[in-house]
Amino acid sequence: MEKKVVLFDLDGTITDSGEGIINCCELALRHYGLNVPSREEMRVFVGPPLHETFQKFGVPAEECDNAVDVFRSRYTTVGIFENTPYPGIRELLEALSANGNRLFIATSKPEVMANRVLEHFDLAKYFEMVCGATMDRSRIEKSDVIAYLLEYIGETKNTVMVGDTAFDVTGAASHNIPTIGVAWGYGKVEDMVSAGAYAIAQTPKELLELLV
């Protein structure tokens, strides 16, 4: 069996972080006196860089840094732990690690926060390296995160991305890396398929079957 290099998104793929992210985004929108949409509409905040999504909900571009600061005022102490690993994820990571695959995190979430989440849930031990956005925003897009990670890995042979949004698919495709989309996250399956995902896993068990 040929071993794989698997790049995992975090939010919406490894953990269900929606409650904490949405709660903190609602706080930021209220700070600006903006309309707070339904929880369903707010799901789009999970995954993509916050600056881009805040603008879509009416925050002026020049205020987005401050909006993120308002978001983090709650997220770094409370929201980050309004979060839980998806059922079956721990078993998936255990099986992939036991088979000798190399596992990495490639997330648009700030790297320091990604590490806190993984340590909190005792999942960090499964990953060779965690790569995320930088706090100064010098590295924020998924394609940039993957580029930085590939400098460490050194090649893309037998490498696959696993994520829940079209951003994961297109970010990986910019480096000629195929993506398996997961249906349990916050992105739309049809968007991932349109972006070029070569398979969609409905459950972690099905994802394991696609990866082995």
Per-residue confidence (pLDDT) for residue 137, from 0 to 100: 82
Domains and CATH numbers, the chain: 5-16+84-211 (3.40.50.1000), 18-81 (1.10.150.240)
Position 47 scores a pLDDT of: 82
Q: How far is the C-alpha of 123 from the C-alpha of 117, rounded, in Å? A: 8
Mean pLDDT by runs of 10 across the 212 residues of the chain is: 90 96 97 94 90 95 96 96 97 96 96 96 98 89 95 90 97 97 96 98 97 91
Cα atoms in the Cβ-side hemisphere of radius 13 Å centred on 28: 31
CA dist., res. 145 & res. 132, Å (int): 6
Name residue, tokens 């459950």. Answer: 203
Give the residue numbers marked as catalytic: 9
> So what's the pLDDT on residue 2?
75
pLDDT at 1: 55
Q: How far apart are the first and last CA of the chain?
A: 8
Q: Kindly report the CA angle at 160 between 44 and 168, in degrees rounded to 5?
A: 15
Q: Which two tokens stand for residue 33?
A: 């006196």
Cα 206 off chain centre by: 19
Mapping DSSP to helix (H, G, I), strand (E, B) and coil, where does residue 136 land? Answer: coil
Question: CA nearest 10: which of 43, 40, 47?
Answer: 47
Q: Compute the radius of gyration of the chain from its Cα atoms.
A: 16
DSSP letters spanning 91-120: HHHHHHHHTT-EEEEEEEEEHHHHHHHHHH
pLDDT in tens, 53-108: 999 999 999 999 999 999 999 999 999 999 999 999 999 999 999 999 999 999 99
**CA-to-CA distance for 198 and 162, rounded, in angstroms?**
11
User: Does pTM surpass 0.95?
Assistant: no
Residue 115's contacts (CB-CB under 8 Å, 6 or more residues apart) are 124, 130
- pLDDT at position 20: 96
DSSP code, position 48: S
Show the DSSP H helices in the chain as ranges.
18-31, 39-42, 50-56, 64-75, 89-98, 111-120, 142-153, 166-173, 189-195, 204-211
The C-alpha angle 137, 139, 141, rounded to 5 degrees, equals 100
pLDDT of 16 reads: 97
Check residue 135 and give its pLDDT. 86
The closest alpha carbon to 56, from 65, 207, 96, 64, belongs to 64
